[in-house]
Amino acid sequence: MGQEGTSIKLRIPKWLLVMFALLKTFTPEEGLAEPLDHWHWRNFLPQENSLRVSYGNGIFVAVGESGAIYTSSDGTGWTSRASGTNHSLCDVAYGNSIFVVVGDGGTVLISPDRVIWTSRISGTGYTLSGVAFGRDTFVAVGDSGAVLTSTDGSAWIAKDSGTHQKLKRVAFGTNIFAAVGANGVILTSPDGANWAVETSGASGHLEGIVYGKNSGRSLL
């Protein structure tokens, strides 16, 4: 009697199939110069961290919870850096040849090389949620309408924002700083020092703002 063939079923995890499919769609020659309608998963960081990323001087810097800082030169391979703090870090900006990071409890860190990070005194205990650079000035915004300015990331000056609403993000473009936050608040300033409250027409919290093509966009 002939021996019947035996079939073997392999159980391949769905996540492995997904990762294989993504890898098949990416080749080293493509690099990061693809259109923005093509994205590739990069599982390089602890998943518990909520991260904020900025770019400057050929380097990506990502910051997040519990003092997390990661850097990358290509957006693919990332290196963890010692921040010297356990405070959550909320945002990062680059200007005047330095990176500036802001976070909980008025935390401010600076680095000229993205490797060594140094703590600086911000002069506030409010959480700073956003930072941007323009007109040779860093502007940081945060809780209770806090606005701080600095030319070097080390010495900070508090400014009157004209609001006590929580400010979440700030951006710079077309020679204007714009900050957004709780309850639809939008502020603008030509220099980071003098601020005007604008009518947004929104009542929800504005969580982010970006600049592009001569237009600022805020996000609920």
CB 125 within 8 A of CB 139: no
Contact 129, 93 (CB under 8 A): no
Strands 137-142 and 128-134: antiparallel
What is the pLDDT averaged over residues 130-150? 98
Q: Cα 14 vs. chain centroid, distance in angstroms? A: 31
Cβ atoms of residues 92 and 100 within 8 Å: yes
pLDDT of residue 22: 43
pLDDT for position 50: 75
Q: Which residue has the higher pLDDT, 47 or 9?
A: 47
pLDDT at 116 over 80: yes
pLDDT range class, residue 218, cuts 50, 70, 90? low
The predicted model gives 117-143 an average pLDDT of 98
Which residue ranges make up each domain of the chain? 48-219
Percent of residues, the chain, with pLDDT higher than 90: 67
> Of the CATH numbers 2.170.190.11, 3.40.1190.20, 3.20.20.110, 2.120.10.80, which one belongs to the domain with range 48-219?
2.120.10.80
